Chain A
Amino acid sequence: MMSPMRNALRLENVGRRYGLRGSWVLRDIDLTLAPGELVRVEGTNGTGKSTLLRLLARIDAPTIGHITGRPRTAYVPERFPSALPFTPSGYLTHLGTVHGLTRTAAARAADEWLDRFGAAAHARTPMTRLSKGSSQKVAVAQALLAEPELLVLDEAWTGLDTGARAELERAVAERTAAGGAVVFVDHDPRRLAGVPDATYRVHDGTLERRTEQATTPTGPHVVVEAQGPPGGQLPSVTVMSAEETAPGTYRLSVPASHSDVLLRELLTARPPWHVRGVTRTDAPADHPPAQEDPR
């Protein structure tokens, strides 16, 4: 299940309009999504962000242009309906099998993800009786449970409580670390700040790559002090800064969403790293200028 995308998803000269005489929602879109890439899409309301995401998820076909590549895709819609005649557990088991899991694996993954998002208590409540927030947790779990190669999130954080929002950021970090691509739209500019490999802006139906990278990402950070084995490689996780404090000992700073991924990678490396300390800081001001870890 952890296989990286068989092939990257590519949009070439893609345009989309609705109806035969409708105006163009998007045109001349060129975009490549490589395995493991995290992409943020911005734009004011009604500019075609959702249309772009539906094209990427291959739910919509382009009116002109080509899309190539078929990664296993999961999609979280902007507004998830609660009018489904299932319990969250039942619905997620169905969706898990639709995504290709066996029934047992799907049922297990369903419980696991509901638990991770703090909705285990509602696993057997009819979905029509769920609150908007719990319903959104089901929407997010639906997309994550089959470990997709491409995850498309259309305002997936909206409606989630604080704990679930952080959990979703961690899930995104896990997905990209496992070689999956993630594309997201979110109205909060601090969402996964500094982490995306690329940020695009939808404007007047076209896509512009934003070059002014947020070089000073705000938001909570986790600083990990770790001692590598002789000749050990620095992990490939997006590290904000890496500073060698003593020979073989590093001070690694990552966005809080990526701390688990970093620690997992350090501890499961062969030979493993030794973690000397983990601290959480809210302002990463005392760090040297951010540098993206080359992949």
Chain B
Amino acid sequence: MTALLRYQAALLVRSQRWLPPFILYAVFLGVGVQGGQPVLDSLGYTAAALLPVAAWLVRVCVTGEPAAAGHCVAAATGPGRAHLGRLLVALGASAVLGAVATVIVTCLSDPSSSDHQTRVPPLPAGAAGLLAVLACALLGTAVGALTSWPLLRSTGRAVPALLLAALLALVVSGSPARAAVSGLVTGSRSGTVEPPLLPLAGAALLAAAAIATACALTSRR
């Protein structure tokens, strides 16, 4: 599995197809986050913006490997494991991206509540932000896994489905991503930090189910 992850990671890094989603995320943050804003609000935005980016990174990893090259790897490891490698590398990339963004945003933001009255300690805030970012990365990966090969094969259907699913994952009540983000934002009003552990667990479960479904279908379609 290590060799597989190393191969997929090298494929992603060297293909430079990671660049557009990274730039999109930087633009999202550039537009939405400014220095001196309340830290938890900014961290909530940082996490929410990562979800569609994580889904796009899955698409990059899944479509980046030519089918025949994928078959060579699938023969060696089994098609399910080969696909698992792609999805885990995408998840890893978005988790790293989100973590770096969280650290930067925490440093730039004002450690206070929304009304700038209560002090919010930056370290717990940053930690809660990391958990929220991870929850969004997981859910974004789930969205990406369910809206690309092997479940949806035509780009014409997969891309709108990805966008719609990413949007829904952010706004539908009960979605772990929404819970994680709104937990940060409501915490910002009162100046309290609540680590979004439950949303993270929910996102992890959903991501595991989505990844398992996608991997199980690789040899069936």
Contacts and interface: CB of A to CB of B under 8 A. Distances in A.
B76 A99 contact: yes
Interface in A64-96: 72-81, 83-86, 90, 94-95
B93 to A, nearest CB: 15
Contacts of B6: 94, 97
A83 B7 CA distance: 15
A235 to B, nearest CB: 31
Contacts of A146: 76
A27 interface: no
B68 A97 contact: no
A176 interface: no
B79 A97 contact: no
B59 to A, nearest CB: 17
Contact of B4 (A58, A77, A80, A98): A98
Contacts of B3: 94, 97-98, 100
Contacts of B73: 95, 98
Interface string A96-137: 011110000000000000000000000000000000000000
Interface residues of A, number: 33
Given A97-B3, A152-B75, A77 B68 contact: yes
Q: Of residues B7, B75, B77, B221, which shows the largest number of chain A Cβ atoms within 10 Å of its Cβ?
A: B75
Nearest to A59: B74
Provide the main secondary structure of the chain B interface: helix
Interface in B1-25: 3-4, 6-7, 10-11, 14-16
Given A60-B219, A81-B66, A86 B72 contact: no
A77 B72 contact: yes
B159 to A, nearest CB: 21
Given A98-B4, A146-B76, A79 B68 contact: yes
B160 interface: no
A57 B75 contact: yes
Given A59-B219, A86-B10, A97-B3, A81 B79 contact: no
13 contacts: A58-B79, A58-B219, A59-B79, A60-B219, A73-B76, A74-B75, A84-B66, A90-B10, A94-B3, A94-B10, A97-B3, A97-B6, A100-B76
Pairs of residues from A and B, 4 with the lowest C-beta to C-beta distance, nearest first = A81-B66, A75-B75, A97-B3, A85-B14
Interface of B: 3-4, 6-7, 10-11, 14-16, 66-69, 71-79, 219-221
Given A80-B69, A86-B11, A97-B6, 10 more contacts: A18-B221, A58-B74, A58-B219, A73-B76, A75-B74, A76-B72, A77-B72, A94-B7, A95-B72, A95-B73
